[in-house]
């Protein structure tokens, strides 16, 4: 078996984000990778072809023929995987230095090893793979102050601050090791560390013997498809409420057990369409569904919200069935129920989660009656029409308040996204109709930030690459806040419609 050769590929060029290599050089690098892959036993049974999928992840793997669900489509031998183990075994100097720094985490160690291997240039055994890695990423830790504030939502800004601080802390912890390894100065910078950590965060696959995972040549060309079968935690919530009916005093402990088990199930099946198989000594990838020739073959590597995708992978989805929005709740709401906070959210569809409705129904009940109706609330039942109207009005008002207090509206962000796509030259005059003054100020701030970055890069004219990189991260921030607002707007509509339905019903209290 051999991987599809470069001459057999259907490879269409399009506008990819980040720093792009020269077109001919990129084709040559890709051809070298595929030849290298074939020599070292990376095989696809003539199932896959490298293609460019515009608007669907960019470069990825397509079906070279019709594929059946469950069919093996790619096999990557263990010897071709980049792991801490394989890197250390191939270099005694690296092994001695790393083994002297046992306080570093597995991921930190892998990042340093990756930078060390990059420093070898063409002498690296994995060189054909390394030169095909992206030259930059858009994970949230790479966001500057402008892009971070463009997220607007406090929780998202906090997540960005946390990711940036974590990256800086981990980088500083590895400085001594990198100096000991005599890495080139440009490989010891924070910018280089962000590149390495983003590579590890966004491209590693799970392996059972190393918590840092592995880099998988060719296997990491698969683009992401959000799994829909486990798109929310309502099934877990339904199982939890059964425990609540049995013993309200132990529901928190039992819920934690369920969550742990669900997480274990999720982790063990994190790559349900790809896994390392000991019996063949290779990472094996399977078709998650049937594909027609030419369709993009996708990989589901876990359920993530858009903010989590942005944090770990540097992209998000316009339609993500696993997305959710959290709204701030009064402390008494948390204390009056036994649901974990992570269950109290609004679905991507705009519908409040099972647990959120349950918690609010109980909270809206007088304290002296909560114990007597608790089993009904945890069963997902309405406690009364009046109670349900109160809950729906409360959620609607809460979402309304959040949306109104954000600097821009949903409609303004939608228009701003279309403007961002039209900005090709940071110095060109901007004349866009119907843009609000707040959005205009944001555009001007973006231009100033890009010009400042160009100055720090010692460029007399801001490079196209610098502008594109900044623009894409700004676009991702606006796209994220737009998806967040859409959830809240849809939730307002859902609650208002429910109130109208409830008002048309005769008052009735369940018992």
Question: Could you tell me the CATH number of the domain that includes residue 367?
Answer: 3.90.1420
Q: Are residues 66 and 162 in the same domain?
A: no
Please state, in angstroms and rounded to a whole number, the distance separating the CA atoms of residues 141 and 194. Answer: 7
Is 258 domain-assigned?
no
Is 154 domain-assigned?
yes
Please state, in angstroms and rounded to a whole number, the distance separating the CA atoms of residues 62 and 10. Answer: 9
Is 411 domain-assigned?
yes
Span 401-424, average pLDDT? 88
Is 233 domain-assigned?
no
Under DSSP, the state recorded for 323 is: -
Please state, in angstroms and rounded to a whole number, the distance separating the CA atoms of residues 138 and 191. Answer: 12
8 A C-beta contact, residue 412 and residue 436: yes
Centre a 10 Å sphere on the Cβ of residue 376 and count the other Cβ atoms it contains.
18
- pLDDT confidence band for 32 (50 / 70 / 90): confident
Please state, in angstroms and rounded to a whole number, the distance separating the CA atoms of residues 252 and 246. Answer: 12
- pLDDT confidence band for 272 (50 / 70 / 90): low
pLDDT reading at 246 higher than 50: no
- pLDDT confidence band for 76 (50 / 70 / 90): very high
Q: Are residues 357 and 479 in the same domain?
A: yes
Please state, in angstroms and rounded to a whole number, the distance separating the CA atoms of residues 338 and 377. Answer: 11
Q: What is the pLDDT of residue 163?
A: 96
Instruction: Round the CA-based radius of gyration of the chain to a whole number and report it.
Output: 26
Under DSSP, the state recorded for 384 is: B
Q: Are residues 435 and 470 in the same domain?
A: yes
Is 261 domain-assigned?
no
Q: What is the pLDDT of residue 455?
A: 54
Domain that holds residue 350: 323-511
Q: Are residues 60 and 91 in the same domain?
A: no
Instruction: Residue 350: name the closest of 226, 497, 229, 478 by CA.
Output: 497
Is 316 domain-assigned?
no
> Residue-wise over 148-158: b if at least 16 C-beta within 10 A, else e?
bebbbbeebbe
8 A C-beta contact, residue 21 and residue 29: yes
Sign, Cα dihedral of 179, 181, 184, 190: negative
Instruction: Residue 378: name the closest of 243, 236, 235 by CA.
Output: 243
Q: Are residues 290 and 402 in the same domain?
A: no
Please state, in angstroms and rounded to a whole number, the distance separating the CA atoms of residues 167 and 194. Answer: 7
Longest Cα–Cα distance of the chain, Å, equals 79
Mean pLDDT of the residues in the chain = 82
Q: Are residues 103 and 201 in the same domain?
A: yes
Domain end (from 193, 215, 237): 215
Span 310-334, average pLDDT? 91
Span 87-96, average pLDDT? 91
8 A C-beta contact, residue 84 and residue 99: no
8 A C-beta contact, residue 346 and residue 329: no
Instruction: Residue 130: name the closest of 145, 119, 143, 139 by CA.
Output: 119
Under DSSP, the state recorded for 55 is: T
Q: Are residues 71 and 120 in the same domain?
A: no
- SS3 category, 118: helix
Question: Could you tell me the CATH number of the domain that includes residue 22?
Answer: 2.170.270
Q: Are residues 116 and 63 in the same domain?
A: no
The share of the chain scoring above pLDDT 90, in percent, equals: 49
- pLDDT confidence band for 433 (50 / 70 / 90): low
Q: What is the pLDDT of residue 446?
A: 79
Q: Are residues 121 and 182 in the same domain?
A: yes
Span 20-33, average pLDDT? 69
8 A C-beta contact, residue 124 and residue 117: yes
Q: Are residues 161 and 30 in the same domain?
A: no
8 A C-beta contact, residue 174 and residue 103: no
Least confident among 96-105, 128-137, 462-471: 462-471
Q: What is the pLDDT of residues 33-75, one digit of tens each?
A: 888 888 888 888 788 888 888 767 678 889 999 999 989 999 9
pLDDT reading at 250 higher than 90: no
> The whole model's pTM is what?
0.82
Span 124-148, average pLDDT? 92
Please state, in angstroms and rounded to a whole number, the distance separating the CA atoms of residues 324 and 126. Answer: 39
Q: Are residues 74 and 102 in the same domain?
A: no
Please state, in angstroms and rounded to a whole number, the distance separating the CA atoms of residues 196 and 118. Answer: 10
- SS3 category, 344: coil
Total domains present in the chain: 3
Q: What is the pLDDT of residue 72?
A: 92
Q: What is the pLDDT of residues 338-349, one digit of tens each?
A: 889 899 999 999
Under DSSP, the state recorded for 434 is: T
Domain end (from 215, 235, 261): 215
Q: Are residues 98 and 17 in the same domain?
A: no
Is 480 domain-assigned?
yes
Is 423 domain-assigned?
yes
pLDDT reading at 167 higher than 70: yes
């Amino acid at each position: 078996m051999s991987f599809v050769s470069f001459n057999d590929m259907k490879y269409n060029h399009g506008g990819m984000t980040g720093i792009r290599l020269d077109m001919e050089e990129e084709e040559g690098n890709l051809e070298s990778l595929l030849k290298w892959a074939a020599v070292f036993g990376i095989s696809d049974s003539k199932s896959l072809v490298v293609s460019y999928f515009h608007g669907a992840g960019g470069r990825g793997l397509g079906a070279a023929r019709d594929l059946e669900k469950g069919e093996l489509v790619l096999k990557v031998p263990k010897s071709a995987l980049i792991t801490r183990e394989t890197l250390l075994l191939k270099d005694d100097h690296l092994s001695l230095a790393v083994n002297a720094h046992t306080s570093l985490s597995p991921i930190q160690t892998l990042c340093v090893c990756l930078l060390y291997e990059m420093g070898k240039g063409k002498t690296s055994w994995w060189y054909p793979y390394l030169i095909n890695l992206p030259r930059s990423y858009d994970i949230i830790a790479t966001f500057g102050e402008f892009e971070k504030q463009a997220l607007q939502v406090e929780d998202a800004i906090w997540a960005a601050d946390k990711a940036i601080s974590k990256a800086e802390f981990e980088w500083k912890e590895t400085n001594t090791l990198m100096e000991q390894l005599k890495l080139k100065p440009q490989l010891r910078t924070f910018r280089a560390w962000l590149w390495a950590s983003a590579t590890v965060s966004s491209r590693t696959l799970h392996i059972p013997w190393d918590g840092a995972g592995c880099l998988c040549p060719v296997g990491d060309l698969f683009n992401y498809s959000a799994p829909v079968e486990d798109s929310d935690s309502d099934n877990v919530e339904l199982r939890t409420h059964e425990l609540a009916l049995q013993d309200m005093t132990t529901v928190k402990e039992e819920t934690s057990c369920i969550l742990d088990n669900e997480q274990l199930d999720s982790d063990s099946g994190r790559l349900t369409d790809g896994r390392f198989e000991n019996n063949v000594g290779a990472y094996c990838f399977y078709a998650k569904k049937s594909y027609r020739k030419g369709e993009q073959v996708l990989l589901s590597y876990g359920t993530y919200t858009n903010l989590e995708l942005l944090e770990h992978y540097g992209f998000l989805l316009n339609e993500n069935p696993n997305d959710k929005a959290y709204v701030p709740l009064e402390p008494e709401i948390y204390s009056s129920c036994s649901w974990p906070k992570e269950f109290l959210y609004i679905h991507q569809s705009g519908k409040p989660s099972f647990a959120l409705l349950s918690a609010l129904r109980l909270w809206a009940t007088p304290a002296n009656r909560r114990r007597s109706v608790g089993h009904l609330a945890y069963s997902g039942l309405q406690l009364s029409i009046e109670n349900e109207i109160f809950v729906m009005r409360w959620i609607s008002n809460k979402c309304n308040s959040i949306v109104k207090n954000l600097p821009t509206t949903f409609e303004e962000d939608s228009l701003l996204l279309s403007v961002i796509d039209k900005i090709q030259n940071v110095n060109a005059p901007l004349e866009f109709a119907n843009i609000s003054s707040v959005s205009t100020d944001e555009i001007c701030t973006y231009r100033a930030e890009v010009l400042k970055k160009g100055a720090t890069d010692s460029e007399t004219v801001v490079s196209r690459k610098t502008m594109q990189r900044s623009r894409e991260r700004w676009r991702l921030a606006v796209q994220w806040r737009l998806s967040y607002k859409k959830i809240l707007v849809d939730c307002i509509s859902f609650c208002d419609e429910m109130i109208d339905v409830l008002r048309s019903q005769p008052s009735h209290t369940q018992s």
